[in-house]
């Protein structure tokens, strides 16, 4: 029998920061690792101090956190790795997956994938000077899925601790088909510890993939967990709550999160905007998801927002990922 799957919450710039991870871990102790959204431009010690709490805690509840860096500068990665080691972290993650043209065009994120020599040079300089593990989160390539096959030897030679692959190429950004056959060939080609990432939106999606990739036991889930925070527990058989009581649990989760954002921002109205970003995903778990999101989206004050949330939970039904309303072309 297969052992319980290991599930990581994928990093999301603007959503899965310190506050989200802390509240998520309290309500849903069902994931095995968190990642910070990427850090960038870490040139001086001061740049770390400014990040404050974001890089303060090595665990939320008992779940470990891995800080992530987006860079093509070995010195910057070394500085980041040493800072994180000093703070008690045991791993950093190098982002070779960010697809956005303003990042990729500067040979950062997935824009580095077509340059295996440059990746090799950066790893050769950085790895010996970082006292903790370095894992990589990447895509299959930027222009083509052939690119990953020019990188595997380098990743192996430098003994990276884990390779997380989002099974698209950079040019697809987050849309279009995931490429399972290339991932299958990666499994055949490498002995590195692999983590699958891409389009797991329901238990059924997971079951299909776990059958297809029977040697894989580590999965990173992003949008699927933003839409339905119960998903990791459902996959791992760790949830005890029935679907009828889940609306109330989600209600307490979004209320705690909202107050935590207000507290951490000294009651700035911006807390509502951060909540709206999450609601863009969460609304897909309700019946009439479009109506749910438009109620939340138009709020402009704390009172408006609180009234809208109360209406959502009083008038709409939580269906979770079973509603199957979200897919990669949803947003």
Ligand X SMILES: Cc1cc2nc3c(=O)[nH]c(=O)nc-3n(C[C@H](O)[C@H](O)[C@H](O)COP(=O)(O)O)c2cc1C
Provide the binding-site residues for ligand X, judged by CB under 6 A. Answer: 10-13, 37-38, 68, 95, 97, 137, 166, 174, 197-200, 221-224
* Whole-Å CA distances, 45 to 41, 83, 132, 331: 11, 8, 19, 37
d(CA 178, CA 144): 13
Which C-beta is closer to ligand X: that of 147 or that of 205? 205
**The dihedral sign for the CA sequence 104, 110, 116, 122:** positive
Nearest-5° Cα angle at 187, 66 to 6: 40
Token reading at 33: 């690792």
User: Alpha helices, DSSP H only, in 127-170?
Assistant: 152-157
Which C-beta is closer to ligand X: that of 228 or that of 247? 228
Q: Which residue do the tokens 């020599």 mark?
A: 117
**What's the min distance (Å) between Cβ of 235 and ligand X?**
12
Which C-beta is closer to ligand X: that of 73 or that of 306? 73
What is the spatial order of strands in the sheet that 68-69 belongs to? Answer: 59-60, 63-66, 33-35, 6-9, 218-221, 194-197, 163-169, 133-141, 91-96, 68-69
Which C-beta is closer to ligand X: that of 95 or that of 289? 95
Q: Which residue do the tokens 């919450």 mark?
A: 9
Which C-beta is closer to ligand X: that of 200 or that of 316? 200
Closest by CA position to 190, among listed 139, 141, 144, 150: 150
Which C-beta is closer to ligand X: that of 62 or that of 329? 329
Token reading at 279: 């609601």
**What's the min distance (Å) between Cβ of 331 and ligand X?**
8
**What's the min distance (Å) between Cβ of 161 and ligand X?**
16
**What's the min distance (Å) between Cβ of 96 and ligand X?**
9
Q: Any idea what DSSP says for residue 4?
A: P
Element (H, E) at 238: none
Residue nearest to ligand X (CB): 222
- Assess contact for 119 and 145: CB atoms under 8 A: no
**What's the min distance (Å) between Cβ of 223 and ligand X?**
3
Which C-beta is closer to ligand X: that of 224 or that of 233? 224
**What's the min distance (Å) between Cβ of 128 and ligand X?**
24
Nearest-5° Cα angle at 264, 260 to 266: 115
**What's the min distance (Å) between Cβ of 248 and ligand X?**
26
**What's the min distance (Å) between Cβ of 284 and ligand X?**
12
Strand-pair category, 194-197 with 68-69? unpaired
Which C-beta is closer to ligand X: that of 181 or that of 266? 181
- Assess contact for 155 and 163: CB atoms under 8 A: yes
């Amino acid at each position: 029998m297969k052992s319980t799957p290991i599930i990581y919450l994928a990093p999301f710039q603007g959503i899965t920061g310190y506050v989200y991870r802390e509240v998520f871990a309290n309500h849903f102790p069902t994931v095995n690792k968190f990642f910070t959204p990427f850090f960038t431009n870490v040139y001086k010690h001061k740049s770390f101090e400014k990040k404050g709490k974001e890089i303060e805690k090595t665990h939320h509840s008992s779940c470990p956190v891995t800080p992530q860096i987006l860079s093509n500068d070995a010195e910057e990665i070394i500085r980041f790795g040493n800072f994180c080691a000093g703070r008690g972290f045991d791993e950093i993650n190098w982002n070779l997956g960010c697809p956005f043209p303003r990042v990729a065009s500067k040979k950062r994120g997935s824009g580095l994938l077509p340059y295996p020599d440059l990746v090799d040079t950066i790893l050769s300089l950085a790895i010996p000077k970082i006292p903790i593990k370095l894992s990589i989160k990447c895509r299959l390539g930027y222009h083509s899925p052939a690119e990953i096959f020019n990188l595997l030897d380098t990743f192996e030679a430098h003994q990276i601790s884990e390779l997380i692959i989002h099974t698209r190429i950079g040019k697809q950004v987050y849309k279009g088909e995931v490429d399972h056959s290339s991932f299958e060939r990666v499994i055949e080609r490498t002995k590195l510890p692999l983590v699958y990432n891409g389009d797991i939106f329901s238990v059924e999606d997971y079951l299909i993939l776990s059958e297809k990739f029977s040697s894989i036991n580590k999965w990173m889930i992003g949008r699927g967990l933003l839409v339905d925070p119960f998903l990791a527990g459902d996959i791992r058989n760790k949830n005890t709550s029935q679907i009828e009581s889940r609306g109330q649990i989600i209600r307490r989760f979004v209320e705690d999160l909202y107050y935590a954002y207000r507290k951490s921002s000294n009651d700035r109205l911006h807390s509502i905007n951060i909540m709206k970003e999450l609601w863009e995903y969460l609304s897909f778990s309700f019946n009439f998801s479009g109506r749910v999101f438009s109620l939340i989206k138009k709020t402009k004050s704390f009172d408006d927002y609180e009234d809208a949330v109360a209406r959502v939970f009083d008038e709409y039904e939580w269906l979770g990922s079973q509603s199957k309303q979200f897919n990669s072309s949803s947003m």
